[in-house]
Amino acid sequence: MQHQGKRPIGWMGIHRGHRAHPFEWLAEKGIFLVSLSAILMVLLIFVFVAREALPIVFGQMNSALVQPVIPPDEVDKHPPEKIREYLGLTKPQFAAMDKDTIRTLMEVHVEAQNEIPPHFRTDPDARANTTEWRYLVRPHQWTGYDQPSYIWQPVGQIHKYNIMPLIVGTLKTTCIGLLFAVPLAIGAAIYISQLARPRVREIIKPTIELLSGIPSVVVGFFALLVMATLLQQIFGYQTRLNAFVAGIALSFAVIPIVFSIAEDALTSVPRNYTQAALALGASRWQTAWQIVLPAALPGAFAAVVLGFGRAIGETMIILMVTSASEMSWSLFSGARSITATIAAEMGEVVRGGHHYRMLFLLGALLFAATFTTNMVAEVIMLRFKRRLEGKR
Amino acid sequence: MNSPAITSRSFRATKFDFGSFFFTGLTGLATLCILGILAIILFNILASGLPAISWRFISTIPKKDFFEPATTGVLPMILGTSIRVIVMTIFVIPIGVITAIYLTEYAPNLSPVTRVIRAAVNNLAGVPSIVFGLFGVGFFINFIGQGMDKALGHESVVWGQPALLWASLTLAIMTLPVVIVATEESLKAIPMGLREGSLALGATKLQTILRVVLPQALPGIMTGGILAISRAAGEVAPILLTGVAYYMADLPTKLSNQFMDLGYHVFVLSTQSPDIEKTRPITFATVLVLLVLTFALNFVAIIIRARVRKKLRALG
């Protein structure tokens, strides 16, 4: 009941001329506090995903294969803080260890360094800390490659953490997905909300909403086992599992969300707009195209933005359908998305290691991207609703 | 008045309304395309999955090699998915319903706090599922789980690892917006007069909400719960990091156990099978079981929601 002004219950439910309701007052405060949980969750997600990624952002991780060694005998010559960093321990871990344990750990370190195959000793890449920003975003001339290239190859002696192939892979599949999904979804939304008979609408709308009930793992499975071969036969490209197949499968996941939001926006255009246009002799189509669609355009745009957010966050479809480690803009080659990388590699990483933190960094990037798209869509929708209500 | 008959008569009367004919056809075609996609997916799965389904398949606990079509089964996966979804419901329904009550009954419409809550709910709905998984690892497993192990003085790791409870909690956060939105919709559908009548008879606001508003909103709350369950039942990405197991010989008995899951099993069968042609029938059958589970729930939710919407339209 939002229309009443001040609530009639005073502090602790004690209000002049009324019976006191302290329990009720407490319950209402409790309701308010619980309702803040959504805000709390968004904050917690941000804090705890970013927390695990921070050491990379601040350049505290070192993923170089060949590292300078401190001989165990020299343990007293260095400040303890340096030893702690050298061993990669957290402060409480380090504090709990006695001298002998630290010595043993340092010996293990020296041995591990001695076991590195000799040809890496002369390789400049083996000394590079690949978690530095320039290795993450700029192409690098890796030993054994013809030219500077973008490569994500975290497993192996030299960890190649270039995030560009993942970003390009994500954008590639997303764009293909949107290219298919948006015309279909918006077209269907126009038809259902403006042109279809009410009885047809009542049947078709829930049916399309049923599409959103198909779990993405099922869409991925369908693309992998049925669609991939079929599409290859039709288009005759080389790689069977490529970004194109993933993009089309992705569009199945995007269509329901774009459709239902666009349909909502089109339906919320006031009926007197339509009635005025029809009364002036416009056909149903002209009304839809020239009156309703322009009025609902911000809503349709917000639907596309949300569809984009959904597409870049979709995991299982891309994980199942396609993969690649090198960057390529070609639509018919493989693609590796941010989401699929996290899902595929998280199970095998050492907790707290640089690979683990890289994956959290990717997650934080993804969260930032979807947060932005959500906010943009939210603002557009808010303005759109206000304009329809006549408040500028 | 919006039947195509009138449109066609009107362009016979004028010259020939090509635009109307063409674009109505085009948008109709787009609609048909979407329906076609849905039909093809469902038909394919039904046609290939149905022959492989048997009571034995549904009620068998598979041995280590679950790629063998003759002896495999999906009972532990069905149970695992059901349990994680039920645990999730226990957490998400109260929080979601209370938030919706605050938003519809108490929140001042234009206050900044209300706006921030709404923005947060919308935002939560758009967070990618894999990010929820990472959050589950960073918050529930590493922060709370390890903290609990330390506080309870466990020698070995009990809570600081992927577990049923953490997967369910992660899913609960993910489905929170679904419950909030559905509950809000049903609360808004209840006529103001009912509340005013109750208040006029001397009931307090909380009494009105508990005894008059909530019983009326029950179908809507159920819809929210069902939608959340059907969304969570098919979701694989978050539990991939927070609790699912590739294979377990025993059924999960404790909240700290890992579990097997239908959706994850579909993923395993279709990507890691040694002989994809041989396992094809059981993959389709597993997908069919998963779809029946989510669709049956979805279907019920859609019917209830259609009724609520009709009520809403009739009132306003």
Lowest mean pLDDT among A243-257, A326-340, A354-368, B275-289: A326-340
Nearest chain A residue to B45, by CA: A222
A310 touching B, CB under 8 A?
A: yes
Identify whether the C-beta of residue A245 lies closer than 8 Å to the C-beta of residue A228.
Answer: yes
* B32 and B90 both lie in a single domain: no
Whether residues B236 and A215 touch (CB distance < 8 A) is answered with yes
Alpha-carbon distance A171 to nearest alpha carbon in chain B (angstroms) = 15
Whether residues B102 and A32 touch (CB distance < 8 A) is answered with yes
> What pLDDT does residue A148 have?
81
Identify from A31, A41, A52, A227 which residue to disrupt to test chain B contact, counting B C-beta atoms within 10 A and taking the largest count.
A41
User: Which CATH number characterizes residue B252's domain?
Assistant: 1.10.3720.10
* B72 and B104 both lie in a single domain: yes
* Domain extent at residue B155: 55-315
Q: Mean pLDDT over residues A208-235, rounded?
A: 90
Is position B103 within any domain? yes
B 78-117 residues with CB < 8 A to A: 94-95, 98-99, 101-109, 116-117
* Whether CATH 1.10.10.60 fits A164-388: no
Give how many domains chain B has, as a whole number.
Answer: 2
Identify whether the C-beta of residue A330 lies closer than 8 Å to the C-beta of residue A285.
Answer: no
Is position B37 within any domain? yes
Whether residues B19 and A360 touch (CB distance < 8 A) is answered with no
Q: Mean pLDDT over residues A155-178, rounded?
A: 89
> What pLDDT does residue A2 have?
44
Is position B10 within any domain? no
B 126-155 residues with CB < 8 A to A: 126-135, 137-139, 142-143
Give the number of residues written for chain A.
392
Q: Mean pLDDT over residues A359-364, rounded?
A: 94
Give the closest of B2, B23, B34 to A184, CB-based.
B34
> What pLDDT does residue A250 have?
94
Q: Mean pLDDT over residues A168-186, rounded?
A: 94
B302 touching A, CB under 8 A?
A: yes
> What pLDDT does residue B251 have?
85
State residue B191 phi and psi, 5-degree precision: -60, 145
pLDDT band at residue A391 using 50, 70 and 90 as cut-offs: low
A49 touching B, CB under 8 A?
A: yes
Give the closest of B133, B137, B295 to A213, CB-based.
B295
A contacts of B30 (beta carbons < 8 Å): 183-188, 191
Give the closest of B41, B99, B271 to A35, CB-based.
B99
Give the closest of B26, B103, B237 to A343, CB-based.
B237
Rounded to the nearest angstrom, the gap between the alpha carbon of residue A198 and the centroid of all alpha carbons in its chain is 38
What letter would DSSP give residue B254? S
**ipTM of the complex in this document:** 0.87
Is position B5 within any domain? no
**Cα dihedral across residues A211, A214, A218, A219: positive or negative:** positive
* B92 and B138 both lie in a single domain: yes
B245 touching A, CB under 8 A?
A: no
Lowest mean pLDDT among A359-368, A376-385, B28-37: A376-385
Angle CA A249–A252–A256, to nearest 5: 160
Alpha-carbon distance A353 to nearest alpha carbon in chain B (angstroms) = 14
| pLDDT at residue A159 tops 80 | yes
Identify whether the C-beta of residue A260 lies closer than 8 Å to the C-beta of residue A212.
Answer: yes
* B283 and B153 both lie in a single domain: yes
Identify from A170, A197, A251, A315 which residue to disrupt to test chain B contact, counting B C-beta atoms within 10 A and taking the largest count.
A315
* B79 and B33 both lie in a single domain: no
Radius of gyration of chain B (CA): 25
Secondary element (H or E) of residue A152? strand A152-153
Q: Record the pTM.
A: 0.87
* B37 and B67 both lie in a single domain: no
Give the number of residues written for chain B.
316
Buried residues in A259-297 as b, exposed as e (16+ CB within 10 A): bbbbbbbbbebeeebbeebbeeebbbbbbbbebbbebbe
Burial of A44 (0-12, 13-18, 19+ CB in 10 A): middle
Per-residue pLDDT of chain B (316 residues), as tens digits, is 444 444 444 444 555 677 778 888 999 999 999 999 999 999 999 999 999 889 998 888 888 778 888 888 899 999 999 999 999 999 999 999 999 999 999 988 778 899 899 999 999 999 999 999 999 999 999 999 999 998 988 888 888 889 999 999 999 999 999 999 989 988 988 888 999 999 999 888 899 999 999 988 888 888 888 889 988 998 999 999 998 888 888 888 888 899 999 999 999 999 888 888 888 999 999 999 999 988 888 888 778 877 777 776 676 5
Alpha carbon distance A378, A305 (integer Å): 10
> What pLDDT does residue B138 have?
92
* B135 and B193 both lie in a single domain: yes
Locate all alpha helices (DSSP H) within A196-315, ordered by sequence.
Answer: 198-211, 216-222, 228-235, 243-267, 271-279, 284-286, 293-313
Residue A297 CB partners (closer than 8 Å, separation 6+): none
Alpha carbon distance B185, B217 (integer Å): 9
Nearest alpha-carbon partner for A316 in A238, A214, A209, A228: A214
* B111 and B227 both lie in a single domain: yes
Q: Please give the C-alpha separations between residue B279 and each of A316, B10, B48, B282, in angstroms, as whole numbers.
A: 20, 58, 12, 6
* Residue B30, both tokens: 């787009």
* B48 and B91 both lie in a single domain: no
Write the pLDDT tens digit of every residue in A288-299: 888 999 989 999
Report for A99-113, A371-385, B165-179: range of highest mean pLDDT? B165-179
Residue B216 CB partners (closer than 8 Å, separation 6+): B190, B194
| pLDDT at residue A8 tops 60 | no
**Cα dihedral across residues A92, A95, A100, A103: positive or negative:** positive
B23 touching A, CB under 8 A?
A: yes
Nearest alpha-carbon partner for A191 in A260, A247, A263: A263
Give the closest of A186, A215, A225 to B283, CB-based.
A225
Which regions of chain A carry the CATH code 1.10.3720.10?
164-388
Q: Mean pLDDT over residues A321-332, rounded?
A: 78
